[in-house]
Structure 1
């Protein structure tokens, strides 16, 4: 389903600094943009919106559509190929594709295996993808972690109890970071964890390492390219899934201590805010999207 803005709602693309500053780089009331990726040249962000893929030029503060063909409407699960010139992306037909950032024909990677495939991670060498598999596209079923060669082929499940989402490779390729409900019986109480990327079908819940124990619902951990910092999104306690238009926090922590936030940015958002890795290549900044409603004070805390 293609998301749209509510009457009077704005879409705001922000760039936050590891030192606490943030900057509004683009705002629109016309299109709901989601899930920024940062290009490897540091010049642009890549977002989806309105069933299309877009690039946001950070110097000119303008967006332009990536002219893709051979792919249904893309959703907010997309990650850049480490080659810098291509992107892997999930589409609303439940499959994963690869396409050039310059546009053109997209190539489908996943097979018709009875599941929907939601991409979240690409290995540092570009050879493997990590995604969430939802059986028959039935969202009452738990998400399962799976890897597949980036060129397509045989899939490898990673067995972790409970619903999981957001599997993303560490910069060294050794770990998959994700959120999971494996550590609780409370419905929807996602927590941050990691598991060995090479474990394959031999991995089970006992191998998953819980990174933070909290009362909030924590989703989508994203490591900086240097592996020292993590951004994630924090939902209110009791939230199920990662819905839109809630009071949430974008949180920055050090990988040395996940329990002590370095920075916290409150906003209205959730779905679309921080679904995929949005770190700049220099590890000094990352991007996120807020969706303030007509009554939201967007200047509060602005620096």
Structure 2
């Protein structure tokens, strides 16, 4: 499998391939200093926009990372998820340039997905009851004050804060369908934001707060698999009709984590070539 790290420009409608890699790399983040972060083979890499190449970010004793990683609002700290120490996915933080991680979540499994705009809390998917569903939680960056925001779904994933911190978007599965939802960080005012035929995952509000990017699977898709014909769609942040902006071969690993450029005009994504 070949991986293409791509940038899509909403103004021009053009997609540019930044880097081609023989193997699997996934889940780009966009750092304001002009580089992307991706993971591959259980490791984390920096990809400079001007001179694209995979530059490994050291993550100390925590290896075997999954693709749930991302940046603090000030760009100085990384959140990563890995299970080499705990047997199940655990969240850690470390300096953006790499270093020895500090454990955040006491309980596992926990998969990082979002950072509050004030830099104080993390949003993540986690399981906290035996044989229970994957639910939406937040905690302080030091791991204290874990709060269950929503759990009455068959599965919750991809929580991401709006830039004003007033909402957390997520995808929720219930009654055999997966739609996008938003909810207040205190668990109130939950709203369904999509209700079409597609299976909708990984909503990411733009930095300017006007729109939400998400991954649309074909009807009937179960889970969030790789290697399908999928689409990236844009939805107004207040709700309404979405529009298709990119079609591709991908799914798992395409936009699992926040991937917008700071200017809200571009975003990064992965597509794959068999």
TM-score normalised by L of structure 2: 0.93
1:40 aligns with 2:32: yes
1:67 aligns with 2:58: yes
Equivalent position of 1:6 in the other structure: none
1:191 aligns with 2:182: no
Larger radius of gyration: 1
- CA RMSD, 1 decimal: 1.6
Instruction: From 146, 170, 175, give the equivalent of 2:167.
Output: 175
Equivalent position of 1:243 in the other structure: 225
1:267 aligns with 2:256: no
Trace 1:284-295 onto structure 2 (pairs within 5 A). 284-293=265-274
Contact 2:3 2:273 in 1 (8 A): yes
Equivalent position of 2:216 in the other structure: 234
Contact 1:161 1:181 in 2 (8 A): no
Trace 1:114-133 onto structure 2 (pairs within 5 A). 115-133=108-126
Contact 2:170 2:182 in 1 (8 A): yes
- Which SS does the other structure have where 1:198 is aligned? coil
Equivalent position of 1:28 in the other structure: 21
Q: What is the alpha-carbon distance in structure 1 between the residues aligned to residue 190 and residue 82 of structure 2?
A: 29
Question: Which consecutive residues of structure 1, in runs of 5 or more, have no partner in the other structure?
Answer: 1-8, 294-303
Q: Which runs of 4+ in 1 moved over 6 A?
A: none
Offset at residue 77 of structure 1 (A): 0.5
- Which SS does the other structure have where 1:277 is aligned? coil
Q: What is the alpha-carbon distance in structure 2 between the residues aligned to residue 260 and residue 281 of structure 1?
A: 22
Q: What is the alpha-carbon distance in structure 2 between the residues aligned to residue 154 and residue 228 of structure 1?
A: 30
Contact 1:217 1:235 in 2 (8 A): yes
Equivalent position of 1:221 in the other structure: 203
Paired positions, count: 268
Offset at residue 255 of structure 1 (A): 2.2
1:165 aligns with 2:147: no
Q: What is the alpha-carbon distance in structure 2 between the residues aligned to residue 55 and residue 194 of structure 1?
A: 31
Contact 2:202 2:256 in 1 (8 A): yes
Q: What is the alpha-carbon distance in structure 1 between the residues aligned to residue 130 and residue 97 of structure 2?
A: 30
Q: What is the alpha-carbon distance in structure 2 between the residues aligned to residue 104 and residue 157 of structure 1?
A: 30
